[in-house]
Amino acid sequence: MTKYLVVGAGLFGATFAREAALRGHQVHVIEKLDHIAGHIYTKEIEGIQVHEYGAHIFHTSNERVWQYVQQFATFNRYTNAPIANYQGEIYNLPFNMNTFHEMWGVVTPDEARQKIEEQRRVLNGKQPENLEEQAISLIGTDIYEKLIKGYTEKQWGRKATELPPFIIRRLPVRYIYDNNYFNDKYQGIPIGGYTQIVAKMLDVPGITVEINTDFYDKRDEYLRDYDRIIFTGMIDQFFDYQLGTLGYRGLRFETQILNVDNYQGNAVVNYTDAQTPFTRIIEHKHFEFGKGNHGKTVITHEYPQTWHQGDEPYYPINDMTNNTLYKRYHELATQKAPNVVFGGRLGQYRYYNMDQVIAAALQLVDREFAED
Ligand code: UDP
């Protein structure tokens, strides 16, 4: 029997904790926030599950992960289909025939392809090296200017020419009339919210959980008292930033209860111009098909923020400089902290989706307990 300390009660930590406890190990979970579930935490307000740290839509093509999460919740048939509002003009997302029709009046896929082909000529056949070039190469200059540039530069706090191309490749480009934001085989929102998923994961004999508990308050004791530590916080902080600081993007959420039944007609509306200071407004009840108290709705404005040490980190900024630094921290971890495993968005410094987090935690379980 191994004594594990799991630092962070988010999806990575909870998945690992559960699987370790089910295999007879002793697991103590500590969480700095005043609740479990990390950034997938949802809370009921006015009968509506509110995503307190930004919208989370579960989607995956990984059979193992999809089967795995079914143990903890029933998923509804929600399909993400955000709307873009560019200075009052409304466009469908992701980039598909509806968007192309709204932008140019084109009707057939051939007409759309021709339009994009014309616009991408500004690249002169150059291989895209940054987000701007990647976007223009995929969908041309008009869509780039109206739906991508402003949103991206607000979201990341830097020029699209200074961002890696992979970020925009998260979004599908489709020559069919289909507003589904994701290409994955499975998609939905857990009925009853996300917090219950993590609560059920942690509800196994052998797991103890302590919230409002900061690893750094008793770091030496923890390192001494546990056989293995699964650490899901920031890897650079764990090593006292000795090799330098990794970059993160912060967020601020402004949540309001409104006395109307339906505020914006969609769960997610992106404001894609550069002037509007927020990136999107979430109307939570639409994730659950209008559930909630009559005449009430809950909306959240999402403001990207410069991240400072001590702020809640949301997105790793995976440019070359940061990725190289992360690799050096990873090597340092292998040499200096053989009994600590770093996992999740912060521990692995990756722009993970929820299913990728679970997949990574299950892979760790496979490695960790290969001989059991
Ligand atoms: N993006 C954009 N316009 C939009 C939505 C997304 O330009 O209306 C770009 C932006 O650079 C963003 C990236 O696509 O950072 C990935 O978007 P996604 O919705 O996957 O981001 P998340 O929901 O993880 O914040």
Chunk the chain into consecutive blocks of 10 residues (it has 372) and report each block's average pLDDT, rounded to whole numbers.
97 98 98 98 98 98 98 98 98 98 98 98 96 98 98 97 96 97 98 98 98 98 98 98 98 98 98 98 96 96 97 96 98 97 98 98 97 74
| CA-based nearest residue to 247, from 151, 324, 171, 149 | 324
User: Is residue 278 a contact partner of residue 302, using CB atoms and an 8 Å limit?
Assistant: yes
Report the pLDDT value the prediction gives residue 371, as an integer from 0 to 100.
79
- Using DSSP, how many helices (H) and how many strands (E) does the chain show? 12, 16
H-assigned helices in the chain? 11-22, 63-70, 97-104, 109-120, 131-143, 150-156, 195-202, 219-225, 235-238, 320-336, 344-347, 354-368
Q: What is the pLDDT of residue 290?
A: 84
Structure-block tokens of residue 204: 């196994």
- For the CA of 149, the closest atom of ligand 1 is 7
| pLDDT score recorded for residue 250 | 98
CA of 170 to the centre of ligand 1 (A): 8
Closest CA to 329 of 248, 220, 240: 240
The alpha carbon of 168 and the centre of ligand 1 are apart by a number of angstroms equal to 7
Q: How many residues does the chain have?
A: 372
- Classify strands 48-51 and 42-45 as parallel, antiparallel or unpaired: antiparallel
Q: How many angstroms separate the CA atoms of 6 and 166, rounded?
A: 31
User: For residue 165, what are the contacts with CB-CB under 8 A and spacing of at least 6?
Assistant: 128, 129, 130, 131, 133, 134
DSSP result, 11-76: HHHHHHHHHHHHTT-EEEEE-SSSSSSGGG-EEEETTEEEETTS---EEE--HHHHHHHHTT--B-
CA–centroid distance, residue 107 to ligand 1 (Å): 26
CA 352 from chain center: how many Å? 6
Residue burial 154-174, b: 16+ Cβ < 10 Å; e: rest: bbbeeebeebbbebbeebebb
| pLDDT for position 355 | 98
Rounded to the nearest 5°, which phi and psi values hold at 320?
-60, -45
Q: Ligand 1: which residue has its CA nearest to atom 10? A: 152
Specify whether the CB–CB gap between 334 and 328 falls below 8 A. no
The alpha carbon of 58 and the centre of ligand 1 are apart by a number of angstroms equal to 16
Tell me which residue of 72, 75, 74, 77 sits closest to 36, measured CA to CA: 72
Give residues (CB < 6 A) around ligand 1: 84, 93, 147-148, 151-152, 155, 167-168, 170-171, 270, 272
Under a CB-based contact definition with an 8 Å cutoff, are residues 284 and 277 in contact? no
Neighbours of 190 (CB within 10 A): 24
Round to whole Å and give the CA distance between 248 and 239.
Answer: 16
Ligand 1 midpoint to CA 238 (Å): 29
| pTM, rounded to two decimals | 0.97
Considering only CA atoms, which of 102, 79, 311 is closest in space to residue 184?
Answer: 79
- pLDDT in the model for residue 231: 98
